[in-house]
Amino acid sequence: MRSWSGPDVPSIGGRAPELRIHDTRTNGLVASTPEGVARLYVCGITPYDATHIGHAATYLAFDLLQRQWLDRGLDVDYTQNVTDVDDPLLERANDTGEDWTALAEREIQMFREDMQALGMVAPRHYVGAVESIDLVAGLVERLGDSVYPVDGDLYFDVHADPDFGQVSGLDEETMLALFGERGGDPDRPGKKHPLDCLLWQAPREGEPSWDSRLGPGRPGWHIECAAIALEHLGTDFDVQGGGSDLVFPHHEMSASEATVATGEPFAQAFVHAGMVALDGEKMSKSKGNLELVSRLRENGHDPMAIRLALLGHHYRSNWEWTAADLASGEQRLDAWRAAVSRAETASGEELVGRLREVLADDLDAPTALSIVDAWAADEGTDASGGATVKDAVDALLGVRL
C-alpha cells in the first residue's frame, strides 16, 4: 500500500451536532451517525495529469466530511484508490513516449504534495489498482453467473442486480448516453446488453498485463473500486464519494458489482461534489482549460488561501473558477490571521457552536466563512469561552491561521 501523511486535526471539545448530508440515491439529506468508526471511500485519480482546482474541490468536500466525523470523536477509516493502470494513462504515456509507470509515479507524488499543502486529512488506505489485481480477480469470481466473456474479455451483466439504476436514478436513454461519453462501450458487439461493463481486459499488444486466476489481463475501473472498498471497509460502509461526473456509470456499476457479489448493500450514502468550470467549460486537459494547484503554489499563492477560495463555494454547486476567487481567499486569510493575532486569547464558544451547526447541515462552508468573517471584522473581541477560534477554524475548516 502507498503511504501518505496528513495534518493532525485538533480536538476542540464540546458537543458536535448530528451531521446531515446529501445522498444522491435518495436525492435528499440523510443523517450520517456512525458509531465508533466512520467508513469512507472516495474515488481517487488516474495519475496522468496534475491536480487541478476541480480535483481539489472534490477532495476538499470529503475532507470537510471527515472533519465533521472527527469532531464527533469518531475514528475515520478513509480509503482512496489510485487507478495506476488504465487507458487514459497508457494513452498519455504513448503520446509522450514516457514510460507509463514513471508517468504514474510522478503524478501520484505531485497529487499527494498538492493534497498535503492544502491540508487534506490523509487516507488510511491509499491503494493502487496494480497492487489489487488478486482482490479484483477474487471479486470477479464471486460474481458467478453474472460474468460472461466477450472475445476473451470479461463483462458484468448489470441487470443481475435488480436495483441497478437506483444510485443515479437515471432513465436508460440517459444512462446509455453517459456510458458512451464516460469511458463505456455501449456499441461493442457481443455484449448481452449495451450497458454491461468491462470487468477484466485480456492482454492487448503493447499494453501491460498481469497473471491472475482469471488468466492474464488487467482490471476494469468499476470493479477496481468495488474490490478495494470491500477489502478495506466491508459492505454497507457509510459514504461512497466522488465528483458528480462519477455518479454514472462509475458509482452505479461499482455498487451493483459489490451487491451482486456479496448480497449486501455497498454503501449507505452516495455523496457527490459539483464540477468546477474554467472559461465557461468543465476543466479538462483536452480543452486545455486547467488551473493547476501546483502552478498556483509555484506562483507563491498560500495553499490556505487556495483552500479558502474553494470553501467559498458549496461543495454540491457547479461553479466557475475566476481570479476573483483567489483574491477573496487571500483577503480573507489576511483578515482572519490579523484578527487571531489581535485577539490571542479570544475563544468564541458561541462562534464554534454556530460553525458546527452550519457545517453539520450538509457541509455549508460558505455560511461558515461568513460567520468567521463577521467575527474577524469584530476584531475578535468575544473572549467568552473555552476553545479558540484558531483551533476551531483548523479543526472544522482545515484552515491553518
The answer to whether residues 352 and 358 touch, using CB atoms and an 8 Å cutoff, is no
For the packed helices 303-311 and 53-71, what is the interaxial angle rounded to 10 degrees? 80
Minimal distance, residue 225 CB to Zn ion, in Å: 3
- As a whole number of angstroms, the distance between CA 9 and CA 241 comes to 21
Q: Answer yes or no whether residue 135 interacts with Zn ion by CB under 5 A.
A: no
Minimal distance, residue 58 CB to Zn ion, in Å: 12
A 10 A CB-CB count for 150 gives 16
Nearer of residues 32 and 81 to Zn ion, judged by Cβ: 81
Minimal distance, residue 266 CB to Zn ion, in Å: 11
Binding range to Zn ion, per CB under 5 A, among 41-49, 173-181, 280-288, 300-308: 41-49
- As a whole number of angstroms, the distance between CA 294 and CA 315 comes to 21
Adjacent-strand bridge partners of 126 = 2, 80
Minimal distance, residue 293 CB to Zn ion, in Å: 21
Backbone φ, ψ for residue 77 (5° rounding): -100, 100
Binding range to Zn ion, per CB under 5 A, among 48-56, 68-76, 219-227, 369-377: 219-227
What single letter denotes the amino acid at residue 392?
A
Minimal distance, residue 221 CB to Zn ion, in Å: 7
Task: Tell me the site size for Zn ion, rule CB under 5 A.
Answer: 2
- As a whole number of angstroms, the distance between CA 32 and CA 239 comes to 9
The answer to whether residues 241 and 61 touch, using CB atoms and an 8 Å cutoff, is yes
- As a whole number of angstroms, the distance between CA 264 and CA 189 comes to 32
Binding Zn ion (rule: CB under 5 A), the pick from 12, 53, 198, 225 is 225
Binding Zn ion (rule: CB under 5 A), the pick from 9, 43, 260, 355 is 43
Binding range to Zn ion, per CB under 5 A, among 183-191, 225-233, 282-290, 344-352: 225-233
Written as nine digits, the cell of 74 is: 469518531
List the one residue out of 380, 384, 392 whose CA is nearest residue 354. 392
Binding range to Zn ion, per CB under 5 A, among 61-69, 128-136, 218-226, 259-267: 218-226
Binding range to Zn ion, per CB under 5 A, among 43-51, 53-61, 117-125, 158-166: 43-51
Minimal distance, residue 244 CB to Zn ion, in Å: 13
Adjacent-strand bridge partners of 220 = none
Binding range to Zn ion, per CB under 5 A, among 38-46, 303-311, 321-329, 378-386: 38-46
Nearer of residues 43 and 306 to Zn ion, judged by Cβ: 43
Minimal distance, residue 330 CB to Zn ion, in Å: 34
- As a whole number of angstroms, the distance between CA 82 and CA 105 comes to 11
Minimal distance, residue 49 CB to Zn ion, in Å: 17
Residues, the chain, total? 401
Nearer of residues 140 and 225 to Zn ion, judged by Cβ: 225
Q: Which residues contact 46 (CB under 8 A, 6 or more apart)?
A: 82, 83, 86, 88, 89
Q: Using CB under 5 A as the criterion, which residues of the chain lie in contact with Zn ion when the complex forms?
A: 43, 225
